Amino acid sequence: MGPDERALLLEAFDSNWIAPLGPHVDAFEREIAARVGVGAAAALSSGTAGLHLALVLLGVGPGDEVIVSDLTFAASANVVRYVGATPVFVDAHEATWTMDPGLLGEAIADGLRRGKLPKAIIAVDLYGQSADYDRLRAVADPHGIPVIQDASESLGATYRGRPAGIEGVFGVFSFNGNKILTTSGGGVLISNDTAAIAEARTLASQARDPAPHYQHSKIGYNYRLSNLLAAIGRGQLRALDSRVAARRANFAWYRERLGDRAGWDFMPEASYGACTRWLTCVTIDPTSAGVDTEKVRLALADDDIEARPLWKPMHLQPIFRECRLFGGAVGRRLFERGLCLPSGSSLTEAERLRVLAGIERAGRRPGGAS
Ligand SMILES: Cc1ncc(COP(=O)(O)O)c(C=O)c1O
């Protein structure tokens, strides 16, 4: 948090707008929409809420199938269950770590053969890197399947020169505590379909009909963002560019010192865009590196430094075991070998050196790769 966040939060507090609506919510929506160059934005209590509302607005319901990136955080797939539909998972492409357009084509063809055209696609931008939407849409558009861009992790990235988030019918950002821009918890649904965003705001406010009394013709949700948190978000947004630069500097720093080591590889940056490097992600091949991911993670933990494995693919999650899967080997390998290094926007040189020392210690631990 910086001084802008503090000043805006205190302004919101003193104004007594302590509610899931208010001037900061309206301003935050306008500022996010302007920042990414999209028609409208609905500020919500989480990114998950945004994905859920996108499916509701697209009319996805029981019996439907939705194609989802296999390598992601569970929220991308959980929302499919919220509406009673079934996720179908598509593996990542080696070169981008995001949804493989070739496998998406196979998944759609399989759906057609079974007489089950997917109702929507949730493509995930991973660790700050956009999926390749031109190629995904070249496969999806001829069938009229809408794409939802789960840009929860990619605010501040670009895709073919455009800000990330606006390649699908809907886009979603998360402002969860671990993201580059945070409101502690929060999210936003964006679209060029301004009527749909107006409807999202209604659904997110318990779908109250325009009547003086309490009347409801639809099922609604309590999904709006608090005015206090929107004030924080506005301050955060002002610092977004410098924080993305800090994340990219972390990545460059680690790569300079570890990139030449045998068996160590860094997450590739796709040629079509700029990744925010939300987290610096590496893969470690235990045969050539002499250490494995778990050993590095534990050596860092010894010094109270948190590093985490990459997302565990959805098809390996007990809850989604029965779901259809196209590919799977890329995500599995990334999960087995991948590690997210400490990547905060305010990481100091001394802290990064401590991480490096922990990695050196892992190499000296007895027993080689565990
Ligand atoms: C890819 C992805 N999708 C969805 C979400 C859900 O966002 P939230 O935590 O704001 O609900 C997150 C992060 O938390 C995420 O990383």
Position 368 scores a pLDDT of: 47
Q: What are the φ and ψ backbone dihedral angles of 233, each rounded to 5 degrees? A: -60, -35
Determine the residue of 52, 125, 150, 152 to mutate for testing ligand 1's pocket, defined as the one with the most ligand atoms within 8 A of the Cβ atom: 152
CA 130 / ligand 1 centre spacing (Å): 15
Q: Which residue has the tokens 């300079």?
A: 256
Q: Are strands 280-284 and 264-266 parallel, antiparallel or unpaired?
A: antiparallel
CA 48 / ligand 1 centre spacing (Å): 6
Model pLDDT for residues 23-39, shown as the tens digit of each residue: 999 999 999 999 999 99
Model pLDDT for residues 210-219, shown as the tens digit of each residue: 999 999 999 9
Q: How far is CA 146 from the centre of its chain?
A: 18
User: Measuring from atom 9 of ligand 1, which residue has the nearest CA?
Assistant: 176
User: Measuring from atom 8 of ligand 1, which residue has the nearest CA?
Assistant: 47
Percent of the chain with pLDDT over 90: 98
Residue 366 reports pLDDT greater than 80: no
Structure tokens at 355: 């991480």
Dihedral angle of Cα 63, 69, 71, 72, to the nearest 10 degrees:
-80
DSSP E strands in 192-336: the ranges are 264-266, 273-274, 280-284, 308-309, 325-326
- Lining ligand 1 with CB less than 6 A are 46-48, 72-73, 75-76, 124, 150, 152-153, 174, 176, 187
What average pLDDT does the structure give for the chain? 97
Alpha helices (H) along 16-142: 23-36, 47-57, 75-82, 101-113, 133-140
Q: What are the φ and ψ backbone dihedral angles of 240, each rounded to 5 degrees? A: -55, -50
Residue 358 reports pLDDT greater than 80: yes
Q: How far is CA 299 from the centre of its chain?
A: 28
Q: Rounded CA gap, 82 and 90, in Å?
A: 20
Q: Provide the terminal-to-terminal Cα distance of the chain, rounded to the nearest Å.
A: 39
Model pLDDT for residues 105-135, shown as the tens digit of each residue: 999 999 999 999 999 999 999 999 999 999 9
Determine the residue of 153, 179, 314 to mutate for testing ligand 1's pocket, defined as the one with the most ligand atoms within 8 A of the Cβ atom: 153
DSSP E strands in the chain: the ranges are 40-44, 65-69, 86-90, 120-124, 147-150, 158-159, 162-163, 170-174, 187-191, 264-266, 273-274, 280-284, 308-309, 325-326, 338-341
Q: What is the pTM of this model?
A: 0.97
Q: What number of CA atoms fall less than 13 Å from residue 368's CA on the CB side?
A: 6
